[in-house]
Structure 1
Amino acid sequence: MNIYRLIAFGVAAVSAAAMIYVGLYQSRLVGRLLCPIFGDGCEGVADAPFARPFGIPDGYIGAVLYAVVLGLLLAPPVRWVWIALFVLSTAATFANILGVRDMMNFGSYCFYCLTTTVLSPVLLWSVWQLR
């Protein structure tokens, strides 16, 4: 496995874990969302109306996206796999940027969402290097 694939795999795994945790809170399978730095901000953001596009907790949407990326990173390195990885990584980056905008408008921040936001350009860069 080359270094860029390893970086992408690590970033996608951390992001998937963060989003699964948020999704479990959003569906109340976890009673409290521990939030480093931002106190109750994580729960406020996770419970905000914008955190449920189409009625689906965005934590689960993000977790599925990153799980698909993880699966594609394990697939043979053919052209269509790279295109799918690039499209999903780009979508994750834009979705995270929109999420930060929503958090800014809301006036509260989620540590886990910001973590995936910081990591998404790293994922996009590492996938780009796989071309």
Structure 2
Amino acid sequence: MNGEKLHTGSCRCGLIGAEARADPILCSYCHCRDCRKQTGAPVMAFVGFREGDLAWLGQPQTWRSGGVERSFCGNCGSQIGYRDDQLPGEVYLSLGFMDAPENYPPTLHAFESRRLPFLHLDDDLPRYAGFSIGR
């Protein structure tokens, strides 16, 4: 990806959108319980951007717990993403929120130690027992 590419995302109803002209900082799978609870799926896939690189259309609703703020559309309920106090200045958007999720293949697995035993993703990506970003 080059820095001039426009990266866009939107919720199901289109009331909330985001765009960035800067490349993502991370594309990842997360197997932690919080991400599973938030998505309702056995694993979350997301793409991260620097907060200053994102421009928002509309204002997402948020829910905060344990140092993480999760966002969603208050109209259609679509999950948008999250901010983590341990990663200041960064926003992680759900791949389902992205308009072209196929452009953001995950490059690693975080919290592999918490992966559900029946979930098998056959890839050669790095796998971290916990947090994938050393801070």
TM range, smaller chain: under 0.3
> Which is bigger in relative contact order (C-alpha 8 A, separation at least 6)?
1
Give TM-score scaled by structure 2 length.
0.24
Give TM-score scaled by structure 1 length.
0.24
Higher helix proportion, which one? 1
